[in-house]
Copies of this chain bind each other. A is one copy, B any other.
Amino acid sequence: MQRIKMTISYDGTAFNGYQIQPNGRTVQEEVQRALKQMHKGQLIHVTGSGRTDARVHAAGQVIHFDTPLSIPLDNWTRALNTQLPADVRVLRAERVPEDFHARYHVVRKTYHYRVNNRAASDVFRRNYAVHEARELDIDDMRMAAAHLIGEHDFTSFCSAKTDVKDKVRTIYRIDIEKENDELIFTFEGSGFLYNMVRILMGTFLEVGRGDRQADELPSILEAQDRSKAGKTAPPHGLYLWEVSYS
């Protein structure tokens, strides 16, 4: 058996999230279906670096699986892409030691969040960026973000629907760049709790609109109370961008 690590990209629009579940189409299911084709009907279980929700995109999700097949790495990419639907693509395949684990060995994750900030919504970006008609104050949002850098208990920025006990995470970087009428937020951290990026984004958007002050962020963190933070921003602006391993 060989363990293979794959970097995959998907357009989340037509998926009910990454992880297999009873209802709706999932990315894991499509990848496993394609692998089953290549393995003459044998089920190959894949493990992802983490879930993504319905309509959330991935530019660099990482998965691993074990296979008895011994084929060149380039052929893995090509063969799987032939079997996969057009909204999932394998970008890279690597051979890894058999103790490599796509979820447990993550040391850093990067997410992007895109906001289309102009008066009229753009039909071509409706599934790929969140539309915000009100002008957002980037400086205020940068000040808000600065309060979150470092190690904190992010209970206030975590969906109540989670079993995770330890809510301490480290955020290394939150950047906000403007490209024409699009704002691109980059979040880099040791790991992120359930809905954490979307709740951070919802809070930043309230600051950007002037509905909340940047200097409220420290007290929101301290409260360790989900209700103190902003609304959960919509899923379709979010991209799992990169997953790094030691």
Binding site for B on A (CB under 8 A): 9-11, 57, 59, 86-89, 91, 120-124, 126, 128
- Name which residue of chain B comes closest to A11, CB basis: B123
Q: What is the CA–CA distance of A126 and B11 in the complex, to the nearest angstrom?
A: 10
- Could you give 6 example pairs across A and B, Cβ below 8 Å? A9-B122, A9-B124, A11-B126, A86-B123, A86-B126, A89-B120
Shortest distance in angstroms between A35's beta carbon and chain B's nearest beta carbon? 18
Determine if A89 and B121 form an interchain contact, defined as CB atoms under 8 angstroms apart: yes
Copies in the complex: 2
- Which residues of B lie under 8 Å from residue A121 when comparing CB positions? 89
- Which residues of B lie under 8 Å from residue A87 when comparing CB positions? 123, 126
9 A-B pairs closest in CB distance: A9-B123, A89-B123, A11-B123, A86-B126, A11-B124, A87-B123, A10-B123, A91-B120, A124-B128
- Which residues of B lie under 8 Å from residue A59 when comparing CB positions? 124
Question: Other CB < 8 Å A-B pairs besides A86-B126, A87-B123, A124-B128, 15 of them?
Answer: A9-B122, A9-B123, A9-B124, A10-B123, A11-B123, A11-B124, A11-B126, A57-B124, A59-B124, A86-B123, A87-B126, A88-B123, A89-B120, A89-B121, A91-B120
- Which residues of B lie under 8 Å from residue A89 when comparing CB positions? 120-121, 123
